[in-house]
Amino acid sequence: MHVLQLTDTLPPRIGGIETALLTLFRQMPDVRFTVLTAQLDAHGAWGDHVRVRRLALRDAVLRMTRFLPPSLRRHSHLLAIPPHEWQRRMAASSLPADLVHIHSFAAFRYFAGIGDRHPTRLFALLVDWLRYFDAYQHPVLFTDHSLFGGPPEQFHAVRNDLLLERLRFVVCVERSGQANVQAFAAARGLPIRLWWIPNPIDTDAFRPGPLRPTNPLVLGYAGRYEKEGTKDVLRLAREAPAWVAFRLALAVSERDRAQAEQDVAEAGVEVLWNVPYTAMPDFYRRLHVFLDPYTFGAPRTALEALACGRVVIRLLGERGTPELPGDVSPALDARDSAHFFRDFARFRDPEILQRFGNRARALAEAVYAAPKVAASYRGVFRAVASAQVS
């Protein structure tokens, strides 16, 4: 089996897609991967079954945009997308492979949104070209990490219809995404084969550790600084009682680092910046509770916390159907901080924390363990590879 893996980002960059790719590659030494990416391969230690082929045209275009007027230069990342996508298609179509696997396609979201706000013939043609997957000349599998998830109104607002009209094989890592795609395909009569396969977690690396004394009770969160949920966590930290402490692991770009440090300093929390993947198990084991502030799905960091035997508290607010069951991830209304901490006080009991933690670990092993997820992908790869390119 030979898979052409298309991705915008690779380790050692920190994020869900990067970690999912690294975990799957390690679990699938029997599958040959050729990774097509514009990013320099700074990781290197992939194994003999993974080859990274860098596509350099994007960066060449970005260098040339430095000579453009400022009004155009600020859109340089958009100007580089069509040349990169063209090179990606040329590379994929020239290589023998069983299928193409796309793990991220931010370019489509950008241009579909612009086309909606500024409807012109040019943008309509560009969006149509971006979704012309036959150009890869192999069957295409699309794994969606968050684009299709959330409530139905959000699903339709970002023009997922245009993308799904051209996809035949889709994996969703979130249940809400699966439900949205199922409903859309049924309504349009589209022959989409759809699978739910969650994010893979290395449950050997992410293992439980003993709970530390609960005075103070340490609440944790890990994610990108610019994500909306970070603001909710910092708000709770500013208004927390004395028996609570906060410990955060935030990923941030150098450009945003100064502002991020100022925001965190005002909240009075302990923060670790750009924590490498290998150090995250120790981060979770030093917590009592992990906070999930996202409006849908189950972020990879929440699943890693489950695997480390930590209860994951959903910050309810205005949220949809939960991804995780309530006996491992209870929901508390965090819109009012005082009300939240009154409800949360029961988790000061170590026995309650341990009981939730044991169930959390059991769920991680049963559903999210990397070998199980890799086995699911093998089956999907075989199904997609057997399809004929139209």
pLDDT one-digit tens code per residue, 258-304: 888 988 888 889 999 999 888 999 999 999 999 999 878 888 999 99
Q: Cα–Cα distance between 60 and 296 in angstroms, integer?
A: 38
For the beta carbon of residue 153, count every other beta carbon within 10 angstroms: 7
Q: Does the pLDDT value for residue 45 go beyond 80? A: no
DSSP code for 365? I
What is the mean predicted confidence (pLDDT) over 124-140? Answer: 93
Ranges 70-79, 109-118, 181-190, 219-228, most confident: 181-190
Q: Give pLDDT, residue 339.
A: 92
Q: Cα–Cα distance between 292 and 363 in angstroms, integer?
A: 17
Q: Cα–Cα distance between 95 and 145 in angstroms, integer?
A: 26
Tokens 């799905």 found at = 297
Q: Does the pLDDT value for residue 11 go beyond 80? A: no
In this prediction, what percent of the chain has a pLDDT beyond 90? 60
Sheet of 244-251, strands arranged across? 270-273, 244-251, 217-224, 289-292, 311-315, 331-332
- The dihedral region occupied by 71, where left means phi > 0, alpha psi between -120 and 50, and beta the remainder, is alpha
Q: Give pLDDT, residue 71.
A: 78
- Cβ atoms of 107 and 130 within 8 Å: the answer is yes
Q: Which of 1-5, 62-66, 365-369 has the lowest mean pLDDT?
A: 62-66
- Cβ atoms of 310 and 290 within 8 Å: the answer is yes
Q: Give pLDDT, residue 117.
A: 85
Distance between the two ends of the chain, CA-based, in angstroms? 20
Q: Give pLDDT, residue 354.
A: 95
When pLDDT is cut at 50, 70 and 90, the band that residue 368 belongs to is: very high
Q: Does the pLDDT value for residue 85 go beyond 70? A: yes
What is the mean predicted confidence (pLDDT) over 145-155? Answer: 84
Q: Give pLDDT, residue 28.
A: 96
Q: Does the pLDDT value for residue 43 go beyond 80? A: no
Q: Cα–Cα distance between 145 and 198 in angstroms, integer?
A: 9
Q: Which of 37-46, 99-108, 146-155, 197-206 has the lowest mean pLDDT?
A: 37-46
pLDDT one-digit tens code per residue, 330-351: 999 998 999 999 999 999 999 9
pLDDT one-digit tens code per residue, 57-84: 988 988 888 888 887 787 788 888 899 9
pLDDT one-digit tens code per residue, 155-212: 887 788 889 999 999 999 999 899 999 999 999 999 999 999 999 999 999 999 999 9
Residue of 222 and 228 predicted with greater confidence: 222
Q: Does the pLDDT value for residue 306 go beyond 90? A: yes
When pLDDT is cut at 50, 70 and 90, the band that residue 103 belongs to is: confident
What is the mean predicted confidence (pLDDT) over 297-316? Answer: 92
Omega before 12 cis (within 30°)?
A: yes
When pLDDT is cut at 50, 70 and 90, the band that residue 12 belongs to is: low
Angle at 147 between CA 73 and CA 80, to 5 degrees: 20
Q: Does the pLDDT value for residue 319 go beyond 60? A: no
Q: Give pLDDT, residue 388.
A: 63
Q: Are strands 244-251 and 217-224 parallel, antiparallel or unpaired?
A: parallel
- Domains along the chain? 2-200+369-385 (3.40.50.2000), 217-368 (3.40.50.2000)
Q: Give pLDDT, residue 98.
A: 96
Q: Cα–Cα distance between 44 and 109 in angstroms, integer?
A: 30
